[in-house]
Chain A
Amino acid sequence: MPESRNYYDLLMQDIRFEEGLNACMNCGVCTAICPAAEFYNYDPRKIVDLVQSGDNDGIEDLLKSDTIWYCGECMSCKTRCPRGNTPALVVMSLRTLSQKLGFFTESEKGRQQFAIKRTVGENIFKYGYCVASYAVNPEMHVEQGPIWKYILDHSHDVFERLGGTIDSLGAGPLRKIPDEAREELRRIFEITGGFELFETIESHSKKKAEEMGLFFKEEGIDNEYFIEVFTANNKKHTS
């Protein structure tokens, strides 16, 4: 971890921050168009204004808050900012820094990063996909409706009619990703800091689980801490 704790300087090391923040004039167009601002206690204008002020304590509070986790990264703000800023890129750099510094476990929404790492993150290496039909569990996704369970129960027949055999080597839908390709993904994550971020999320989450008195397992989703962060909602996120 760098010695400097000037958060603005740390943010400037992220090219998305450099690209996303020129000079905000506080017009609020980003907030007007933002789907997150529509439903959460969320105002991207305020975030950008605070960050560009360089208020170190204010930025630290932000890094520990639920606020930075409300954005859906739809990037609609990029199109509309009259000054060419991208508030969502500023938020993405704040999220990365919050995780690097271990601040993300201070908020309910931030703690959810652990559940994303254990699901989407693990899928990348298990299957070579972020999402694959067989990894979308109907019990965790009741909104998918009865057709989803049906598709999973009859995967072979459904996919054979619509495109080919799944989970086989060679071209085709949901093909089995060759071991060599998954090994290359693994090496890319190793060299570029992907695993470092995964380990950071894991170690801070483990610490937080202990602090909260919740059972934590080194892998999988069958543990109290995963269930807590995946489902907890203190209902204080909307007005």
Chain B
Amino acid sequence: MNKEGKRRIWSDYQKEIADDHFFYVRSCIRQSFFPGSEQFFLNFLRNDLRKDVYENPSHTTCTGIGYHSDIVPLPTIMTVVARHFALMKESGYKNIAISCVTSFGIYAEIIETWKHFPEELAKTRDYLYRATGREFDIPENMAHTSDIIYKFRNEIAAKAKNKLINRETGEPLRIVEHIGCHYSKMFPKYGVGGAEFPNVLGGMVEAWGGKVIDYPERRHCCGFGFRQYLIQANRGYSLSNTAKKFSSMSPYKPDMVLTNCPGCNMFMDKWQYTMKEMEGTVYGVNGESIPVLTYEELAGLVLGYNPWNLGLQFHMVQSEPLLKKIGIEYDPEDKFKTKDGKQMPIPIDLINA
């Protein structure tokens, strides 16, 4: 059978991901809610893989949350992002590694806008120069940080201390992956597998021994909706969409949810708490809620990192049921200790605790 045509079509869904020398840009939400995830990413790339990852202290918000809640105009965000590209150029880097799916979507939208409307690129260059005296180049390679973990998923598998297998049954863990709308729904070519076959998280799960669980609302939004969460009066939108997803996945009995976007992670974790408080609803088995992990947290567990150095204790839904399933040994006494080993107070009313 001639497979040439299929190969050509499939090539549209592949993504080239740089191998080294990354200009790393943090995420407002990931660093606020999941600092252990960003720490893992940097440690793993720098110390385990010996890659060059540079973080410029002058990098700011991309203003993406403001843009998607319509208080930041397009020319403004284009110029803020151009400033990031200028910092990258000045630091001698060409490959950008973005820790936030909202920012990733913003960068993609802006680069594509400049391609379709070259006069906007010229205007942005002028704005940036007038505002800061800086000049910029468009990155040669743009990766979300999950793309980079995906690229090195087999290296992680080779070093795995823990596989994503239920120790008791010997079966692969049942994992729901949530890509996040702005990763590839807007500009499919920037995502691994595009919008139709997104495999950035699925590829990790399979490489590490787990099984990806399909369910009807797999690609439904987490419910963030920007202004629909930022404003208290609108949060019913956000909560209802999360409830729709969890009701849809629940019959498939997932052991955990794996997320790409830090915002999605925060909502899918915190709204489970809210739904339990409001209605007593839990979506996992045995009266438990479903742990929601970032890809860095999961990679860290596979590599045998201490779960408490990854920050799993700072989710509302606690991960012990998952750790037990995998057979990860952990020290409960170490869970709420400072870096220097001093005991901190124990928080109360966490879920699955």
Contacts and interface: CB of A to CB of B under 8 A. Distances in A.
Q: Provide the main secondary structure of the chain B interface.
A: helix
A230 B233 contact: yes
Nearest to B58: A181
Interface string B72-90: 1111101110010000000
B60 A177 contact: yes
Contacts of B32: 129, 131-133, 136, 174
Contact of A76 (B33, B58, B185, B316): B185
B169 interface: no
A215 interface: no
Contacts of B8: none
* Contact-residue size bin, chain A (C-beta under 8 Å from the other chain): 35 or more
B128 A188 contact: yes
B6 interface: no
Interface of B: 26, 28-29, 31-33, 35-36, 38-39, 55-61, 63-66, 68-76, 78-80, 83, 105, 113, 116-117, 120, 127-128, 130-132, 181-182, 185-186, 188, 195, 219-221, 223-228, 230-237, 239-241, 244, 270-271, 273-274, 308-311, 314-316, 337-339, 342, 344-345, 347-350
Contact of A143 (B120, B128, B273, B309): B273
A129 B347 contact: no
A76 B181 CA distance: 7
A112 B229 CA distance: 12
B64 A130 contact: yes
A102 interface: no
Interface of A: 14-16, 19, 35-36, 38-40, 69-76, 78-79, 92, 95-96, 99, 108-109, 112-113, 115-117, 119-121, 123-124, 128-133, 136, 140, 143-148, 150-151, 154, 157-164, 169-175, 177-178, 180-182, 184-185, 187-194, 197-198, 201, 229-233, 238
Given A112-B233, A146-B349, A151-B314, A191 B61 contact: no
A144 B105 CA distance: 25
A173 B241 contact: no
A184 B134 CA distance: 10
A116 B225 contact: no
Contacts of A232: 233
A161 to B, nearest CB: 4
Given A145-B316, A174-B31, A182-B60, A230 B232 contact: yes
A169 B57 contact: yes
Contact of A192 (B39, B79, B314): B79
A121 B66 contact: yes
Contacts of A75: 105, 181-182, 185-186
Nearest to B273: A145
B270 A143 contact: yes
A175 B66 CA distance: 20
A24 to B, nearest CB: 19
Given A192-B76, A194-B76, 4 more contacts: A72-B225, A120-B230, A164-B39, A194-B72
B186 A92 contact: no
Which of B68, B120, B315 counts the most chain A CB atoms within 10 A? B68
A228 to B, nearest CB: 10
Contacts of A161: 36, 308-309, 337-339
A193 B64 contact: no
